[in-house]
Every structure is written in structure tokens, then in C-alpha cells.
Chain A
């Protein structure tokens, strides 16, 4: 077996993903690739996205054809240097033989979900990755859940221990909040870390999640190794209240779809399955109360009630701010005029969800901060 040959496999974007369709190749056989190069487009029932390479080398063989649907972990292409056709054939044969066994093993050794009790409420989380060192914690935004990190957590878990949490009232955590303030959520996040024995972590927050990790770092500086604030709340007063109100009051697919489309620069990313997942969440008893209460506390009076910019100065750890230029929920201008210690990056092609729409770019920024 030629050790220079590496597989490119169907990725797993989110716990629920079992298979994906390879819709388009972006690289020909013989092309040289390196990490970050878009190799192909993949479509799941929930979302379509470009897959980026994590390895360098020459595409020796494209094994999967456009339009084919493959299980997670199945071989799509073979990358390497200086291998003969016979060696590639042997590699493919061996890979496919081992795939069935590996697939069943992956089901038990893959990301694990769990719950911890914080102040009497169950907090749900997914842990992925086993690496030593300071872990990464992902915190989603208003009305989101940990699945929104489907393109980020699996990639960063290759080199780090990672956790994605469902905030109180969200995802698979208990559907209740007290006041629904940023302080309350930050307290729950600290409680989550305490109960898992995590003393310090790189904190990645999106939208409301950004304000929450910023609040936590200001209150308990020892708990934050770095902050990555994506489309973050707390950096200025403006917020699109039409979205917040429209999202909360939507009861069916037709009302909800135009709201979800505001989250992305490319509205076609909003699939029927994505809408159905959000509707399933919104229809649970207690959820609308959670959303109303949180919106009242965090966005009461038609603007963001907490301006956390002053706290940035006191935080000693590295801070990376990321916005999508086409953000329709919180203006990307909030990335401007921040203290000079804050690194700001604007993703030109993304809206409010740059971690989904430009996952590779955002993953590299996170990896860079975490490695620093």
C-alpha cells in the first residue's frame, strides 16, 4: 500500500446526516489541490454546500460521479503523489472492503450527545474530537441550535476537543428561561462548563451566542481562552426587528420561509427540511414563550439592549470578529470602530450565517485564533 495515497470521503454535516449527493465536481483528475480548495458541491436533504479539501496533493482518481448519493464516510476521490494506477486500484478496493466495518464503528465512536443539569434545567450538547488541549465551545444564536455548527464542529474536531451546546429554551435543552437575558445565558454556559469540568475554552458564538460568550469572558475572564464573535450581537444597537417579530409570530411554512431567507446571502439555501426543522422546534410547548421573553429582554424597545463594546477593552485574550457583508439581521458595520486589539474580518459572500455560507473561511479563522 502506497502511504502517499489519501481518501476524500463524504463528510458528515450534523448528527442527522447519513448520506449526501455529490452534485458537482470542481476539480479534474490530475489537478493539484491544497487545504481550502473547493473540491465539489454536496447536497443533503437539509442544505447544499461546497466541500473544501483538508489535504494537499494531486487528484489521482474521482471515484464518485456527479449525481451519485453516498453514505457518510464513503470514498469520493483519491489524492496523493506518484502512485501507479494499480496502487490506486488496490487502495480503492481495500477502502471499500473496510468501509462497511468502519461505518458501523463510526456510528458508535462518532460525536456523542449528552445532557447536563444546570440550575435545574437540562442543557443538551454534542461533543466531538478527542485532542488534548483547550477545547472549543460553540454557542448558537437566537432560536437556533447546535446543528447550525454542522460545517464547523466536525472540521475543528479533527484537531481539537469541541462542544456545541443548545442554550436554555433551545434545541434539545429544556424549553424554559427565567428572564432570557444575556447574563442568564452566560451563567448557564458557565454552569455547563463547570459541570463538565471545563475550566477554560475557546468560545465561538454567533449572533446572540456572540454576546453571550462576550458577557461570560467579561464576567469570568479565566474561562475564555479566546473569543470568536460571528455576526455577533452586543456590538451596536441595530437589529432587524422585522425578522425577530416575523420569526416569532410565524406559525406555518409560508410565514417562516421569508424570515429564514433573511439569514442567508443566498436565500436558496433555505430548504424545505430546514423550514420543517424550525417549525418542529417552534411548535413545542414553551418555545414561543421562551422566544418572546428572550426577545423582550435582549431586543426590547426595537434595539439591542446590551452594548458590550466597552467590555472588549478589559478582555485580555485574542478576539476575532467575523461578519457577513450581506448580513440582513445585524449590520456588518458593527465590525467597524472596535478597539484595535480586536481583529475584524468581513466575509463578502455571506449573510448572517457566515459559519454556514463560508464555512471553510470561518473554520480557518477559528483554527488560526485557537492555534495562536
Chain B
């Protein structure tokens, strides 16, 4: 039976159900419980934004606070995965990838390949992404595109509570290392989520609405904005197909290409910087595979090629929003008419 859950609670429930099902599933990270080794309340934090709150009390042998050393505990999680556990490590902000990147891209991502398929690394690394939180340039980046570039890593970018629970359960059950990107502005968004555990397979895009005029591909928090834009455009009589790829690696290229073959126009919405991003990746895919179907050049709605500003006024200006998506759709339609 479905009931309304927030994105935050949906993730918490996925972790709880998987720890309940399989005692090899463990959680590790900075303050995932909070207060370990210190006087005062245990389970004080449940992660910096309370996502894992309550889990250390229910699963005291499966939830571990770690020292503030990403290179240490991310490496430990990967080693534990290679030796039989199924850890879910929380990197906190994706922006901290720099200090533990070797463990991820040069170790975890390579084990299965370099050991001839004899090793698996069923680790999940959860991290927060995205702007709008007034958290400045070092705590607001997207960066999933960096991980998508690395063969051997799977990358999930949930866009809603239903998606978050199902994709995280799939991530935990997957035998490969999975990067799991949670947009911090989604944590309080609510929708119907089934009580039962369920897994959404990787590499299958979700088509949120069918449309015939323009295809909009969006990721993470941008999916919600793309849907808002499509509502506005529908009132103008413009019909948009909205596609959420769900995972950037593997990427469901078929669904994107089939849609563009029907609509002839593509707008990609990506909160990352505009170069070497999922936006450029998907634009290139369509240019290469569906060029003859295109009736106008692909439009990208992205952040600019600058760090995320700390000034709230500038940050609001910096981020993609529904108005910018509507404007891009108008532009792509004008070009077709010309």
C-alpha cells in the first residue's frame, strides 16, 4: 500500500528494509549515526540532513560512524565490499570526491575487470549533489558526469521519492559499485511510495509524459522543473515528452532516441556546468544517432561554466529553472519554423 513519503524518508526506508533483509548490508560514514565515542546522545545526527536518522538504534551492528577521513572510510567500504559485505558509504557532499577519488575510480571501478571477473565490489556510495541550498561553491556541485565517464561505475540520479527508494534498493542489490546522487533540494518533496521493497532496474528511463512536439530529457531535481515547464507549455498548446533517464550509467539511449525520432526536437536539462556534461553527452548521442530526425539544433539548459555562487541572488540566477526550460522550448520551435 502506498502512502506519502518524503525523498529523505524513502531513502531511510530503503536502507532499513535492505539491512533487515540482509545483515551484510552496512552503513558507514561521517555522523551517519552521530555522537559515536562522545558523551551525550547517540544517533544524534543521522547524517548531516537526517537521512539515516533512527537506523543506528534499529541496526546497532550495521551502522558505523567513521572518522572524518573520506579517503579512509570510502577505501574501507570498497575493501569490505570486495571481501563479502554490501556497504552503503555516505560521502556526504559529492564535492568531497577529490580526497577519495583514487579509491573509487582506480580501485572499485577496476576490480571486476582487472581480476578477470573473479572479484565483485557491491558497494554503494551515497552523496548529496546540487545547488539552491545556499551552501556555496564547495558544497553545491553536480559532478555525476565525472563518475559517468568512468567505466566500471554505475550512476543513479533519483528524481523523486518513489524513484529514490527503488533505485537505492537496486543499487544495494547490484554486484557492481554504484554511485548514488541525492539532490539535497529534493529531501522534503513527498509522493506516494509503496510500503514493500521494490527495485527499479538500471538503464530504463522513465517517461513522465508523452508528447509530440519536443523531447525534454532531465535528471535529478531538473525532472520536476521540466514537468512544470511542460505544464506551462501544454497550456500554450505545445506538447512535450519528458524523459528521466534515472541512471546516467548505464544510459537508456533507446528511449531518448525513439522519442527524438518522434518529436524531432531535443532540449536537455542538466544542472551541471555546460561542458563535458550529461547535456553534451546526450546531445552528442542524438546528433550521431538521430541527426536526420532533428528539425532544429539541440538546446541545452544548464548552469554556466562558473563555480556555484554563494550570493543567493546570483545562485538563483545561476540555476536552471522552469522559465529557462520554457524559453528553450520556445527557441527550438522558432528555429524549426524559420
Q: Is B191 on the interface with A (CB-CB < 8 A)?
A: no
The contact string, 1 if C-beta is below 8 Å from chain B, for chain A 128-167, is 0000000000000000000000000000000000000000
Residue on A nearest B207 in the bound complex, by CB = A272
Task: Give the residues in chain B near A251, CB-CB below 8 Å.
Answer: 201
Interface string of A258-292 (1 = CB under 8 A from B): 00000000000000100010001001111000000
Name B210's contact: one of A172, A272, A283 (CB within 8 Å). Answer: A272
Residue from A175, A252, A253 in contact with B196 in the complex, judged by beta carbons closer than 8 Å: A175
In the complex the two chains form, what is the Cα distance from A251 to B210 in whole Å?
Answer: 21
List the B side residues contacting A172 at CB < 8 Å: 1-2
How many A-B contacts if CB must be within 8 Å? 27
- Residues of chain B contacted by A253 (CB below 8 angstroms): 204
Residues of A within 8 A of B207 (CB): 272
List residues of chain A with CB within 8 A of the CB of B199. 283, 285
Contact among B1, B198, B200, B210 with A285 in the assembled complex (CB-CB below 8 Å): B198
List, in ascending order, chain B residues with CB within 8 A of A252's CB: 201, 204
Q: Are A284 and B1 in contact (CB under 8 A)?
A: no
Q: Using Cβ atoms and an 8 Å threshold, which residues of chain B touch A304?
A: none
Q: Nearest-CB distance from A279 to chain B (Å)?
A: 9
Check if A206 is an interface residue, CB within 8 A of chain B.
Answer: no
Which residue on chain A has the smallest CB distance to residue B166?
A283
Complexed CA–CA distance, A172 and B201 (Å)? 22
Which secondary structure characterizes the binding site on chain B? loop
* Chain B residue with Cβ nearest A45: B209
User: In residues 285-303 of chain A, which contact B (Cβ within 8 Å)?
Assistant: 285-286
Distance in angstroms from A342 CB to nearest chain B CB is 37
Chain A count of residues within 8 A CB distance of the other chain: 14
The interface centre, meaning the residue of B194, B200, B210 with most chain A CB atoms within 10 A of its CB, is B194
B197 contacts A284, C-beta separation under 8 Å: yes
Asked if B201 and A285 sit within 8 Å, CB to CB, the answer is: no
Interface 0/1 of A336-361, CB less than 8 Å to B: 00000000000000000000000000
Give every chain B residue within 8 A of A285 (Cβ-Cβ).
196-199
Alpha-carbon distance A318/B204, docked complex (angstroms) = 48
Smallest CB separation, B308 vs chain A (Å): 34
**B198 pairs with A283, CB closer than 8 A:** yes
Question: Is A124 part of the contact surface with B, judged by Cβ < 8 Å?
Answer: yes
Q: Mark A291-327, 1 if CB is under 8 A from B, else 0.
A: 0000000000000000000000000000000000000
Contact of A286 among B2, B196, B201, B206 (CB under 8 A): B196
- Return 23 A-B CB contacts under 8 Å, by A number: A115-B1, A124-B1, A172-B1, A172-B2, A175-B196, A251-B201, A252-B201, A252-B204, A272-B207, A276-B206, A280-B194, A280-B198, A283-B166, A283-B198, A283-B199, A283-B200, A284-B194, A284-B196, A284-B197, A284-B198, A285-B197, A285-B199, A286-B196
A-B residue pairs, 10 tightest by C-beta: A283-B198, A285-B197, A172-B1, A284-B196, A284-B198, A252-B204, A285-B196, A272-B210, A284-B194, A272-B207
